[in-house]
Structure 1
Amino acid sequence: MTSHLTTHVLDTATGAPAASVGVVLAGASGDSVVAETSGAIIAHGATDADGRLSIGPEHLPAGTYTLTFLTGEYFAARGVETFYPFITVTFIVEVADDGSSRHYHVPLLLSPFAFSTYRGS
């Protein structure tokens, strides 16, 4: 089974994939479209040795979601000080009238004192 949502975390300070980063997928609070999951955890997991994670169900309903990366735990396990104990990325899932939706990929470029994300493919 392939999830509707994937992520890839790269530790730019080391130039390597960020393995064992905890990730939590939840419905965004205040989104009436996903009210049944608003603020509720939908799925959780951790990145693999290549910094990748397929998370959540095969299909996400239209709405606003969050991915929270547990970066404080990741850096603490490595004895590295960080400014960001966690990073939350909020994004919108769109579904066409025929019920189809494309794959969503949310990468994270990470260092102890900075991060960047973008809409991947």
Structure 2
Amino acid sequence: MTQYTFALDLVNDPQLIAEYEQYHRAVWPEIQDSILDAGVIHMQIFRFENRLFMIMEVDATFSFERKTKMDAENPKVQEWEQLMWKYQSAIPGAKENEKWVLMDKIFELKKEDNEG
């Protein structure tokens, strides 16, 4: 299993943030299917004020290129992405039209299983 982390900002408006969270309490089934079909096995999104943080765990079938191609060919995903732009704001340092920005891991602490 591989894990990726991403960051994204929301438009800093309490009403829009509430609407965004409402959409994510009932993500369209077609969107959930497209994420799972791409090889994502676990996804979590966290929010602090207007900053989002996403953790995505993927299996061996996942690639960013494959996910991008699948999304481009799926009209429902395109509809969802267009709708989400109402709420999302590119994070500082993002490229043009880039939403979620892949983050670099700078630290990890893990207890060894053989300690005892």
Same topology, TM > 0.5: no
The answer to which structure has the higher helix fraction is: 2
CA radius of gyration, larger in: 2
The answer to which structure has the higher strand fraction is: 1
TM-score, scaled relative to structure 1? 0.32
TM-score, scaled relative to structure 2? 0.33
Q: Which has the higher contact order (CA 8 A, sep 6+)?
A: 2
